[in-house]
Amino acid sequence: MEKSVLFVDDDPHILSALRRMLMASGCVWDLTFAGGGREALEILEGRPHDVIVSDMRMPGMTGAELLEKVRSLYPETVRIVLSGHTELETAMRLVPIAHNYIAKPCDSETIIRLVQRACDMHDRLNNEELKQRIGKIGGLPNLSTTYHELVRLLSDPDAALDEVVKIIERDVGMVANILHLVNTAFYAPKQRITKINQAVSYIGITVLKSLFLSAEAFRAFEGKIPAEFSLEEFQNHGMEVGSEAAEMMGTQRERDDAFLAGMLHDVGKLVLLTEHPDQYQEVLRRAESGQSSCVETEREIWQVTHADVGGYILGLWFLPYTIVEAVTYHHNPPAPMAEGLDVTTAVYRANERVNSRKDRAEEYTGAKE
């Protein structure tokens, strides 16, 4: 079934160019064009669309305001930002409500591939059968109020480190987790870091957000993990995949996203393990013996994999689309968007490399897939 796509831009020349470019490319979508946010909402009220692609800087109603309304009124619609290069980084920071981003200028092939990729991802995670199957697996953990408070503070570019430290220090468990992660071999500090203010200063705000979310995600399962499963080895595996994936990327933002996605790529395993420990021990036993991979056995038992479950839970936690996509596809990535690597492909390759190292695969229970 063809997708209905609504393009929104206050510049009629851009809309005309988009129409000509897409029609010339043989695009089979049902295309609609709107000259602003209010017109777009009127169109959607008459007929909801599968996808909306909106410019950011528009008079009357900005792209951010429009997509916020679309998320509220039409949550099933895939939301994509179409923005100039100079605005794109700002758009990516300020619009967590968007599923993906397209930089102007762009060609028809880029638009078609990115929109289709976003649709495939959205359809996969919003599949009713997937939701029902994950619902049968068991309850998904929620993140703490401390996490949400810290995220709000870290979103402020002028946030002071001492304010960040004050929030973290309220949570003894979080302090322990962050200090543990910072002192691993992957960060290799010259001397052991024992104070949280030192840790924050050492790693910086951006990496702290990744470490904090990773620690919080793992902590959500504490007390449920079977004694024979090493959460420390699990975290170290994620750290290694994240570090290796980050090294493959070009921009700082891509490195940050790859690091966090790598650290969290197997979080779905924790859901399956804590809700069905006996069955998941069998999954791990089969993987270790070479009888079948974790993914194959998971699909046999639950009809979904830990990658599906992980992507779903991170989507519920409102993580950026890039992270959710990388976790969901870390075993079977779609084709990269352009020459070189994207975050999803980097996490996939890093995970493959880490799992192929015989000494590492032997240490990490269930890592080899």
Omega before 75 within 30 of 0, i.e. cis = no
187-244 pLDDT, tens digit each: 666 777 878 888 877 777 667 777 677 766 666 676 677 777 777 788 788 888 988 9
Tokens of 17: 């160019």
Distance between CA 267 and CA 245 in Å, rounded? 17
Of residues 138 and 158, which shows the higher confidence score?
158
Tokens of 9: 């831009």
Which amino acid is present at 235?
Q
Residue 336 backbone class (left: φ over 0; alpha: ψ -120 to 50; beta: rest): beta
Residue 164 Cα to chain centre, angstroms: 23
Q: Mean pLDDT of all residues in the chain?
A: 79
Instruction: Give the per-residue pLDDT at 272.
Output: 85
Asked if 166 and 146 count as a contact pair (C-beta separation under 8 A), the reply is: no
Among 54-58, 140-144, 155-159, the minimum mean pLDDT is found in 140-144
Instruction: Give the per-residue pLDDT at 359.
Output: 45
Task: Tell me: pLDDT of 63 over 70.
Answer: yes
**Cα Rg, the chain, nearest whole Å:** 22
Distance between CA 279 and CA 270 in Å, rounded? 13
User: Mind giving me the DSSP string for 219-274?
Assistant: HTTTTTS-TTS-HHHHHHHHHHHHHHHHHH-SSHHHHHHHHHHHHHTTHHHHHHHH
pLDDT bucket at 361, cuts 50 / 70 / 90: very low
Closest to 310 (Cα-Cα) out of 290, 331, 291: 331
DSSP state of 171: -
DSSP state of 11: -
78-106 pLDDT, tens digit each: 888 887 755 555 555 545 577 777 777 78
Task: Tell me: pLDDT of 316 over 70.
Answer: no
260-311 pLDDT, tens digit each: 899 889 988 888 888 888 888 888 888 888 888 899 999 888 888 899 888 8
Of residues 352 and 143, which shows the higher confidence score?
352
Query: pTM surpassing 0.85?
Result: no
Share of the chain above pLDDT 70, in %: 77
319-354 pLDDT, tens digit each: 777 888 999 999 988 876 555 678 999 999 999 999
SS3 state at 65: helix
Strand partners of residue 52: 6, 79
Residue 177: Cβ within 10 Å count? 21
pLDDT bucket at 16, cuts 50 / 70 / 90: very high
